[in-house]
Amino acid sequence: MNKKWNIKEQNLDRAEQISKKYNLGKLVSKILSHKNLKDDEIEKFLKPTREDFYDPFLMPDMNKAINRINKAIESKEKIIIYGDYDADGITSTTILKRFFKDRGADLDTYIPNRLDEGYGLNKEAVEKIAKDGYKLVITVDCGITSIEEVEIANKLGLDIIITDHHETLDILPNAIAVVDCKRKDSKYPFESLAGCGVAFKLTQAYCKKLNINENECLKFLDIACVGTISDIVPLVDENRVIAKLGLMLINKTKNLGLREILNLSGYKNIDCTAISFGVSPRINACGRMGHQEVALNLFLTNDPFEAKDYAKKLEEYNRQRQEIEKSIYEEATIQAEEQENINKSCLILGKENWHHGVIGIVSSKITEKYYKPSILLCFEGNLAKGSGRSIEGFDLHKAIVDCSKYLQHFGGHSMAIGLTLEYKNFDKFKKEFEEYVSKNLKEIPVQELKIDEEITYKDINLDLVKELKLLEPFGEANPVPLIIYKKLKIVSIRSLSEGKHLKLILQDDNTIINAIGFNLGELADKYQIGDKVDIVGNIEINNFNNIESVQINLKDLRKSIL
């Protein structure tokens, strides 16, 4: 697929100011200048501290939530934390369970089974919780759209506190407190916290209200960091504070389960990449395969032998998930390239026996491959259950709200959604959704590579790459810097991993540059030794046999204009 190369507008004066004020190199200074940050914001960006957290009581209903929780603890009421089966939900649940257990609360947890119950509060679970004698339910990472379920809880004598970060509907649940920064009446300065971020703010508010040492909540920043990075929320502002401070804590974490899963992941450097590709998939695999309690138990156990056992189980579930994902992806790709789908502006794909715990990942890969909004559904009896992923600039949640008349359940945000509908309505929904996308996505989408800077051989050195680490953690809204390097001669080119990846050795005068292009193996046959090419990618350090060297992680390349 063709990609649009767009070099960001340069603000050389501002970059020079930043370079002098903070004693930074040219490349890092230019990247910071693109972010349009004020001086105090740059200071916070580079060196966030615990002083950079916002007042948790600026969140809607936070005071109500703390008062009700404190009453429950004082009265010895049974409390249950109702979470979600993904990494954000598991970490959110872990934070509240550990924190309030330390406060002497009589509490337990409930994580719905993804395969049997689906996402969020459900009637059967609420009825069971009430029957088991619980008096207070605290939701994490879910609940904001559970209007009917909260009404059922109210009739059963259950009090509900909702903590969530997803988009709200026009009507809020009739709960004791609804803590969500996306509420239209919210005065909180930042609305993009992950669910675990909201859970962390709840513990922060509790400490503040009851004059408890703030270290009692700050010690969970390692867990909050994992959930924040895993949920792909923008790593800016308060999320960046959580992630940056949390990564420092992860390197010396006292959580036995987190330590074990890090060891199994094989990553030597514990950074955003290690969490995104080493930790998150293993946690999520439990929920996807219907074993959500294993991931939660991993983070809650204080027994080192149990931690090892749970971590091994996560490893096995992740292996199973990978096999299933590969099979579904191959089948979905065949459907996507059928004549009836190939020229459409979105992809609505479905099949019996697709594992609906895994299709969200496959939807992400389909969207990445074809750069179109996609929804994948598995047909189970009279129901179709699925997940969708979007592209930059297209609000998938808004689209699904507009096409919701055929849906039984749905939720999510602009880039990712989940949905359930009756199978008999699949074709009707597909037609309506395709019409909506066609109307609101009039131009054929082209993935844009937003390039930070053009470099030459003078910039290829380890010191420059290491200075880029000041900008970590990278993620949504703070991507790894993209560079362009022009007129490089191909010295060697070949594909790796059965044609999946691309390996290049490039030359600029007397400088040799190594480059790796993941999932770009098909380009190996389109270029030959001696060709002059322009490349776009990320500069990184390759550590082979304990020898460090600069490497370009390719995102695209094309022949140079000579």
pLDDT at 1 over 70: no
pLDDT (0 to 100) of residue 172:
96
pLDDT at position 460:
82
Among the ranges given (1-5, 23-27, 174-178, 550-554), the one the predictor scored with the smallest mean pLDDT: 1-5
Residue pLDDT, tens place only, 119-132: 889 999 999 999 99
Q: What integer pLDDT is reported at residue 459 of this predicted model?
A: 82
The more confidently predicted of residues 262 and 356 is 262
Residue 476 is predicted with a pLDDT of 87
Quote the pLDDT of residue 165.
Answer: 94
- Over residues 84-97, the mean pLDDT reads 97
Exposure on the CB side of residue 230, measured as CA atoms within 13 A: 28
Indicate the average pLDDT of the chain: 93
pLDDT tens-place string over residues 39-52:
989 999 999 999 99
**Buried/exposed 285-304: b ≥16 CB within 10 Å, e otherwise:** bbbbbbbbbbbbbbbbbeee
Strand partners, 492: 505
Q: What is the CATH number of domain 52-250?
A: 3.90.1640.30
pLDDT of residue 103: 96
Task: Write the pLDDT tens digit of every residue in 287-339.
Answer: 999 999 999 999 999 999 999 999 999 999 999 999 999 999 999 999 999 98
pLDDT at 97: 98
**Residue 250: CA count within 13 A, CB half-sphere:** 28
Give which of 103, 100, 187 is closest to 140, Cα–Cα: 100
pLDDT of 86 reads: 94
Judged against a pLDDT cut of 70, whether residue 441 lies above it is answered with yes
280: pLDDT strictly greater than 90: yes
Q: pLDDT value at position 115? A: 85
Tell me: pLDDT of 443 over 80. no
Percent of the chain with pLDDT over 70: 99
Give the pLDDT of residue 53.
Answer: 97
Per-residue pLDDT of 285-298, as tens digits, reads: 999 999 999 999 99
Phi and psi, residue 449, nearest 5°: -100, 110
Q: Tell how far CA 390 is from the center of its chain.
A: 13
Model confidence at 416: pLDDT above 70: yes
> Does residue 231 carry a pLDDT above 70?
yes
pLDDT at 562 over 80: no
Q: In 374-509, at which residue ranges do the beta strands (DSSP E only) sit?
A: 374-380, 383-389, 407-412, 416-422, 448-451, 453-454, 483-496, 501-508
Element spanning 162, H or E: strand 159-163
Q: Region 54-76: what's the mean pLDDT?
A: 97
CATH class of 337-440: alpha beta
DSSP result, 407-437:
EEEEEE-SSEEEEEEEGGGHHHHHHHHHHHH
* Residue 218 pLDDT greater than 70, yes or no: yes
Whether 532 has a pLDDT exceeding 90, the answer reads yes
The SS3 call for residue 540 is strand
Inter-helix orientation angle 62-74/195-209, to 10°: 70
Helical axes 87-102 vs 221-230, angle rounded to 10°: 160
C-alpha to C-alpha distance for 524 and 496, rounded to whole angstroms: 10
| For residues 333-346, average pLDDT | 91
Q: Residues 469-478: pLDDT tens digits?
A: 999 999 989 9
Predicted structure pTM score: 0.89
CATH of 4-47+448-559, one of 1.20.950.20, 2.40.50.460, 3.40.50.150, 1.10.3720.10: 2.40.50.460
> How far is C-alpha 311 from the geometric centre of its chain's CA atoms?
21
Distance CA 350, CA 325 (A): 14
Map out the domains of the chain as residue ranges.
4-47+448-559, 52-250, 337-440
| Cis upstream peptide for 473 (omega within 30°) | yes
| 541 pLDDT higher than 90 | no
Distance CA 130, CA 402 (A): 35
Share of the chain above pLDDT 90, in %: 81
C-alpha span between 368 and 339 (Å, rounded): 20
